[in-house]
Amino acid sequence: MRTGIKVFAPASVANVGVGYDILGFALEKPGDEIIVRLSDKPGLRITKITGAKGKLPTAIEKNTASFAALKMLQHIGEEGRGIEFEIHKKMPFGSGLGSSAASAVAGVMAVNEILRRPLTKRELLPFAVMGEQIADGAWHADNVAPSLLGGMILIRSNETLDVHRLPIPKGLYATVIYPKVEVLTKHSRGILSDQTSLKQCIEQTGNLAGFIIGMYNSDIDLIGRSLKDVIIEPQRAQLIPHFYAVKNAVLEAGALGCSISGAGPSIFALSTNSLIAERVGEEMTRIFTDAKIENQLFISKINQEGAVLL
Ligand code: HSE
């Protein structure tokens, strides 16, 4: 067997409360790993998938990782290349942590690396978004862009993928809990009203702008005041049992802000240091464990690297 290369693409928190479909950040862990090998037999093939309990398709056009890679190979005129994929899911899916995005990112990243980087990371972005799109049918880069590029990313326009990286204040930590309840992204998007009042728009744009200024100036109080979602969270909170109990406990424990991670059911909080992040994690775990809901906790700095070759 030929030696392959292995890449890692991290989980991510989309929306970040104030930026539905246009804001997201990457976590240091968990994430997905993909190993690719060149083969003499033309075309892409998935030879192995682990960690997915048989739930992921192996058909090239249906799997987010291989579809993204195929689109990228077509773009550079190399679709005939023989490439074998091993996909190792090392994070929960259907969790609101950008699992399909991480797979799509790992797919394009792995192929780009084995072909000795014909494209820059930034140029890989549209193909990774195409991969993720087959998972929930929608075109948005708020998980894919941070998973690929790292950091906290604002997507000014999803259509043109006009993406911008925000500076991260020192010491910022994310605490994320995944309560094991089923929330389907399609459903979680489907329940959202397409009507927003002018009052809500004014409040939400003020908060988004305040959040961005806070990130640029490391103004922690401003970040805290701004991390309030008046449009999406009130509509989705019903999908997550004990959401408001968790949010109240977490803010009481000193978090800057707390909201739903992506389409849910995961909940994230931002804190100014690891001690607070851990205390926040204890509160989150306590509430779900007391309610007998299985859960998984992740505490991480904001991942600045995004997808990497291991
Ligand atoms: N912005 C997306 C949502 C992320 O909240 O539905 C999940 O795909």
Amino acid 1: pLDDT = 66
What distance in Å separates the CA atoms of residue 18 and residue 233, rounded to the nearest whole number?
Answer: 9
Active site (annotated) includes residue 132: yes
Active site residue: 132, 233, 272, 283, which one? 132
Range of the domain at 29: 5-166
Same domain, 151 and 222: no
In a domain, 306, yes or no: no
> Does ligand 1 come within 6 angstroms of the Cβ of 136?
yes
Read off the pLDDT of residues 186-242 as tens digits, 9 standing for 90 and up.
999 999 999 999 999 999 999 999 999 999 999 999 999 999 999 999 999 999 999
Residues 14 and 149 in one domain: yes
How many domains are there within the chain? Answer: 2
In this structure, are 14 and 161 located in the same domain? yes
Q: Do 1 and 68 form a contact (C-beta atoms < 8 A)?
A: no
Q: How far is the CA of 50 from the centre of ligand 1 (A)?
A: 25
Strands 82-88 and 43-50: parallel
* Contact criterion met (CB below 8 Å) for 125 and 51: no
Question: Quick one: pLDDT at residue 305?
Answer: 98
Asked whether the predicted pLDDT for residue 134 surpasses 90, the reply is: yes
CATH of the domain at 130: 3.30.230.10
Report if residue 310 sits inside a domain: no
Task: For residue 231, report the distance from its CA to the centre of ligand 1, in Å.
Answer: 14
Domain final residue pick, 166, 185, 210: 166
- Closest C-alpha to ligand 1, atom 6: 263
pLDDT value of position 2: 74
- C-alpha 114/C-alpha 125 separation (Å) is 17
Q: Could you tell me the distance, in angstroms and rounded to a whole number, from the CA of residue 10 to the centre of ligand 1? A: 16
Ligand 1 contacts CB of residue 15 (under 6 A): yes
**229 in contact with ligand 1, CB cutoff 6 A:** no
Let me know whether 55 and 101 are in one domain: yes
Is 294 among the catalytic positions? no
Does 155 lie in the same domain as 281? no
Q: How far is the CA of 37 from the centre of ligand 1 (A)?
A: 32
Work out the average pLDDT over 52-69. 94
- pTM for the complete prediction? 0.97
Residue minimizing CA distance to atom 3 of ligand 1: 263
Strands, E assignment, the chain:
5-14, 23-38, 43-50, 82-88, 152-157, 162-166, 173-179, 257-260, 267-271, 295-301, 308-309
The structure tokens listed for 276 are: 């607070």
Q: What is the pLDDT of residues 3-29, one digit of tens each?
A: 799 999 999 999 999 999 999 999 999
CATH of the domain at 186: 3.30.70.890
Q: Is 260 in the pocket of ligand 1 (CB under 6 A)?
A: no
